[in-house]
Structure 1
């Protein structure tokens, strides 16, 4: 899929020629190039030091093209877990991670939401907070942000270019760093350069060998709910997966954990004993007076009465309570002191795209990145409480998921199913493979190889009482979400 084309380039160039002075030799050099990417690189070079507000959008458009092209080419390398490359890279970069106060968030479900609650509350108290998450949902640069601002594409491309150049100079192309490793290093450099008060890092995959697991010291390690996910990569049992998740725990660490199933929790306790880490587990009995609504939740936790969240779903109550417990542990370390007013406001302002997110009222459209058994169960539970005339579900799943169980659970809903392929070539299931599984549980199935075709069909002929759901994979919903709200989309 092309991000920008020759026509877009000509538009950028004409805007610059009409409004800003570039030497004729520069313009001629750009126009002589036959390669579109080279044209953008040359144009970027000549605009680099042109610091004018009026040209910011054009510069960002140019840098977005280059950033996403670099990302797309780099990602062809695929996933390669391990910390050897990452440690080598960070040494070359003067170990930026050593300058940060890090909150490291791992687990299976709830990592992003818990991180979002923490960032919002800390930000509300006047702190400068870096947040690193994946995968992208809003835009390709949304995984690195400080408070409300994503890293600019210009800064992002600068950091990627620097990282790539340093690695090639020292190690060449053998055992080349993955894109996720470069993206993680980019966040570390950016947060260090911007002097953030806290840096929250969400684990990408697993924990033990994830690129984020390179910190020598952290202020807190957080492990959210653990369930079965990434079978064959992390393990085939809950205990094996929990062991990988617990790999982020360090010696003398401060650990806050969600009350996961006993088999998983026992592994976390064992690792904490071995590492002499202080473990605090969220007590579900401390959460009371839960009131759930399709647009908000209200609950009480400890000294906080009638807390209101805009993030919906039963599990968001527990994610929020886990974040509050994290704040208590940070306060015990003398790292912060936050007023109850800022805590309540921070919680109320928290949002996280792609998690039970209503993106349209007419028709009602809900998107949710549920992609494993636990999160699909949560989604089904939420939908069963809604009132609607007809339910339509557009979904796709990856082949390393418990897809049979996922389809079995979601087929308990009286719904029409629109199956499509997740835009992740090496891990996707074909629509025929998905249909073969889902057909065991329901007959109301339509298939579309292209997600956009599926979206176009599912949006036709809906009454206000219909509910449309997009789910099954963050990679899928990120592709479709921005089309629904008419914003810049994530490019895969």
Structure 2
């Protein structure tokens, strides 16, 4: 089986199946010898900050000498981003071999009317891969929600992390913070340790506390008032916490609190026997880079790609854009299942020009509709349906000191990054 054939086979499975229960995945994992039961995990759920948090944790663990796997979703450019060990993606040959081994089992399950979805298959591949690579620990990011997510088949992890919770995927998870938090809290296992983002919504904290009480688990929550931000600009942030000064390269004050969540998690792992030098923590936080999180791809003009796509994420991006005094040209595309109205306007309000573009996805918003919304808050709005042309137009309209910001969706980021890199 070739790599392209492996991807085609993975994508042949439905994104979702009617049965939301995790027992749909158990026959597959049982046939594979339950690889998930032979691994140790940090399990991460939340609305925003999951990918950044997972990546920071993994960087610190790798620098501390542990073989660390990362399972993340979604990918931005390359499907193999989902499976990484010590910062390296799975090879095309390894992925094809794993899919080839899985295929007979999956086909036999179909004959017994045992159906799994695409993310189930991806999750099983991840478990097999991390076990085969001898990972000491895996940073495991949920795909959607928590309680019914495929990753929740694992037993009690070393730690659960709940990142910032806000409104997103409301059609699936609920339309209140409490309802969404209840789905995310579903990853909290009996007698476990849950680390919570310090600036969590109070309604979400109440739900998490209730779940911890039900399961006999411990909730670890840093006091945000103990965090002193020394510097926060377009190069990252410096902050003081628990008697030490740290630096991060990820942009935005919200990333400071993601970093504090990671520091709390590392302290918890120390208590469980992991040897994590202070230097690994400080260097790991400082060295972490993450695709499509205010990722600067070129200078003169500065070109930034940011995958923020829901209200909280776009509000954070809007605050970051306020730091930029130069002209800002935005290239924007969004998905229809997001609260794109107010979110879009919050970002476009900071822009001098906005170019609305399509995304090659059936759930994408028509760029003409995005333009209508942007026209009320930005002085110059246009629609360009070809992404290469949109980028060239933004370049033509920008001076060497100006900024071009691609934002609104990870899907758009994935399409635009190769176009931008081809122009470097």
Normalised-by-shorter TM-score class: over 0.9
Is contact 2:41–2:157 with CA below 8 Å preserved after alignment? yes
Matches within 5 A, 1:445-456: 445-456=381-392
Report the counterpart of residue 336 of structure 2 in structure 1: 399
Retained in 1: the 8 A contact 2:330–2:348?
no
Structure whose CA Rg is larger: 1
2:212 to 272, 284, 303: 272
Question: Secondary structure of 2:79's partner?
Answer: coil
TM-score by length of 1: 0.82
Cα-Cα RMSD? 1.8
Q: Is the 8 A contact 1:420 1:454 kept in 2?
A: yes
Partner residue in 1 for 2:322: 384
Tell whether 2:250 aligns with 1:298. no
CA distance 1:126–1:237, change in 2 (3 Å)? same
Report the equivalent of 1:25.
none
Q: Does 1:98 align with 2:98?
A: no
**Pick from 412, 421, 443: which aligns with 2:358?**
421
Structure 1 residue matching 2:343: 3-state secondary structure: helix
Deviates more, 1:259-268 or 1:433-442: 433-442
Contact 1:422–1:476 under 8 Å retained in 2: yes
The change in CA–CA distance for 1:474 and 1:232 in structure 2 (over 3 A counts) is same
Query: How big is each residue's C-alpha offset from its partner over 1:203-253, in whole Å with a ceiling of 9 and x where there is no partner?
Result: 111111111111122111000000111121111111111111111111111
Alignment match, 2:277 = 339
Alignment: residue pair count: 420
TM-score (norm 2): 0.94
User: Any unmatched runs of 5+ in structure 2?
Assistant: none
SS at match of 2:96: helix
- Report which stretch shifted further, 102-111 or 441-450: 441-450
**What SS does structure 1 have at the residue aligned with 2:174?**
coil
Q: Is the 8 A contact 1:430 1:449 kept in 2?
A: no
Shift of 1:376: 0.7
Report the CA distance between 1:102 and its aligned residue: 0.5
Per-residue CA deviations over 1:408-430 (Å, capped at 9, x if unaligned) read 311321421111223322x2212
Deviation track 1:328-382 (CA, whole Å, cap 9, x = no partner) reads: 1111222x02111122122222111110111111210111111111111111111
Q: Alignment partner of 2:66: what SS?
A: coil
Counterparts of 2:397 and 2:340, CA distance in 1: 30
Closer/same/farther in 2, CA of residues 414 and 167 from structure 1, 3 Å limit: closer
**Residues 390-439 of structure 1: per-residue CA shift (max 9 Å, x gap):** 211111111111111112311321421111223322x2212233233334
C-alpha separation between the residues in 2 aligned to 1:379 and 1:302?
27
